Structure 1
Amino acid sequence: MLCVKCNYINDSNARVCSNCGHNLLIEESFDEINSKHVKNQNIVTSSQSAEEAEEVSNKKWSMVLILCILLGLIGFHRFYVGKGGTAILMLLTFGGFGIWTLVDLVIIALNEFTDEDGRKIKRNKNSIAEVA
């Protein structure tokens, strides 16, 4: 319950504000305000968790796919997404003798390939048209 005196959020069954000691029972008319505050707080929390769960890279999926197909043996697609260390390893081993490149192709096709910050590189509706 929201205390109108100090704006502290108390438990819903609290009778006295745990912050300032104000009597919350007098504020029965403010129940509507309290319920709106709790609803708004829940909306903010759910929208933040949705944004955190879906972090998408700004790199183009189609570009990563094309680079992997054409220059995958030298790890150029990994340079593009910022993974310089593994890109150099691919360059020195010719894409793990081709196996590493094939694995990356599958991962890119499944939308599980990530950039240097761990954000997924997702295919959007226009990506397939860009490749063709």
Structure 2
Amino acid sequence: MKAEDEKYCVECGQAIHVKAEVCPFCGVRQPIFYANQPFQQQNRSLQDDRWLPALLFCVFLGSFGAHRFYLGQIGTAVIQLVTLGGCGIWWLIDLIMIVVGKYKDADGQYIKSPINNN
């Protein structure tokens, strides 16, 4: 049961301090809650706005890691650039994960389609 100065982690569900920016259990960055805007609506608009550009970057420039640069994953983007998308395998896996909505950005937020936003 959570206390007054605790909140639940958005990824693992553990009770953490209300001011924690990163969950000490799973390491996922916690979203900022605004008083007048519920988290679900704020989170959804971010995901909806980034899904199509991420998909297009992956389809057309995925072997160069463009989608990873776009989503803030600079380190793995450079590796993907050097290996040309892991000889196409890494690129294909990223493409499938973006399409099904299981791809995460650098902050740990899922990039989901606005059509299939479950």
**Above 0.5 in TM-score?**
yes
1:50-96, Cα deviation, whole Å (9 max, x unpaired): 9678x745551011000000000100000000000000001000000
Which one of 62, 67, 74 corresponds to residue 52 of structure 2? Answer: 62
Q: Please, what TM-score do these two structures have when normalized by structure 1?
A: 0.53
Equivalent in the alignment of 1:78: 68
Q: Is the strand fraction higher in 1 or 2?
A: 2
Moved over 2 A (4+): 48-53, 55-59
Q: Please, what TM-score do these two structures have when normalized by structure 2?
A: 0.58
Q: Is the helix fraction higher in 1 or 2?
A: 1
Pairs aligned (count)? 82
1:10-36, Cα deviation, whole Å (9 max, x unpaired): xxxxxxxxxxxxxxxxxxxxxxxxxxx
RMSD of the alignment, in Å? 2.9
Closer, same or farther in 2 for the Cα pair 1:52/1:86, shift >3 Å? closer
Q: Which 5+ residue runs of structure 2 have no aligned equivalent?
A: 1-5, 13-30, 32-42
- Higher radius of gyration, 1 or 2: 1
Equivalent in the alignment of 2:85: 95
Matched position secondary structure for 2:103: coil
Q: CA deviation at 1:125?
A: 2.7
Q: Which 5+ residue runs of structure 1 have no aligned equivalent?
A: 1-44, 128-132
Q: What percent of counterpart residues are identical?
A: 40
5 Å-filtered alignment, 1:1-132, equals 49=8, 56=43, 57-58=46-47, 60-125=50-115
